Amino acid sequence: MTNQTSVNEFRLLGFSDIRELQILHFLVFLFVYVAALMGNFLIIVLVTLDHHLHSPMYFFLKNMSFLDLCYISATVPKSIVNAIMQRHSISFHSCFLQLFFFITFGTAELALLTVMAYDRYLAICIPLRYRTVMNSRACNQMAAGSWLSGALYSVLHVGNSFSLPFCGPNFVHQFFCDIPPLLQLSCSDTQPNKVHNIVLALCYGFICFTFIFVSYVHIFKTVVRIPSAGGRYKAFSTCLPHLIVVSLFIGTGFFMYMKPNSRSPSTQDMLVPVLYAVVPPVLNPIIYSLRNKEIKAELRQVKRQGWNMATYFR
């Protein structure tokens, strides 16, 4: 890569050059990052410690929480430091690594969301075979496959983009290294690379979306046949949070990557990536914990144990 480019670093322009807005950027992103760390770490700890939550659904939920921690950590800490220190530079290789990990974790999460849809399909539509199919070995293989597919996709996607020469300018109109603004900086014809990235994203996204769509078609057909209202509510309550996460994650990501590049970056170009790079890792713990009776029950038990222990040591 160094033989094909004269750019040694990029400048992440962020949201604003006004100091007051940079401080606001720092405070908001710091709050969001801490909330994401606490929420996802709490889910990992609860699922790990409570043997009642050692089921395939919670196994995948724990994996998604760990992915969320990695996903948001790939971009937000650097943005926080840049905002408060007024340093906007990122080296060429650091930009490459940031983008590689960001796409790896993001793509792995999409694959894991697909696996979770299949898990709900088996649990609701074929409950008698659920434990047989979703054994510990199958769960581990599916989780590992999600990570591996994310890494392979990232190699193809990021490698194709960074094979281009970058001669200047080096101003990235975004708060992190993302492919659309980076392609605008190349001093060569980027159309073949854009087509390659779009085809790759469409193929991967189509496979995941098809599996999720087919799974939920069968799920909803089964749920509407459940005679009791309580049974239908329980089935829908485990599926709707998953659909919300999938819709937000896929919808905003595809909108940003598929829309035509504009010559002058707009506010929309800056804010839309927040919806797929920052919001999902914060939203996932809230959605899954607030609508999940088992998670809420375990939280109440932890609070009671903590209160009893605090009372004992007084």
> CB of 43 within 8 A of CB of 53?
no
The pLDDT of residue 254 is above 80: no
Domain boundaries, the chain: 2-312
> CB of 254 within 8 A of CB of 205?
yes
> Range with the lowest mean pLDDT among 23-27, 171-175, 249-253?
249-253
The mean pLDDT of the chain is 81
Distance CA 105, CA 154 (A): 9
Distance CA 26, CA 32 (A): 10
pLDDT of 155 reads 92
Q: What are phi and psi of 11, to 5 degrees?
A: -115, 110
pLDDT of 149 reads 94
Question: Which of 216, 178, 208 is closest to 95 using CA atoms?
Answer: 178
> Range with the lowest mean pLDDT among 15-29, 215-229, 291-305?
291-305
Question: Which of 81, 106, 85, 107 is closest to 94 using CA atoms?
Answer: 81
Average pLDDT in the 265-279 region? 77
pLDDT of 309 reads 39
| Topology annotation, domain 2-312 | Rhopdopsin 7-helix transmembrane proteins (1.20.1070)
The one-character DSSP state at 174 is: S
Q: Which of 69-73, 224-228, 237-241 reaches the highest mean pLDDT?
A: 69-73
The pLDDT of residue 30 is above 50: yes
pLDDT of 302 reads 59
Question: Which of 138, 117, 142 is closest to 63 using CA atoms?
Answer: 142
pLDDT of 66 reads 94
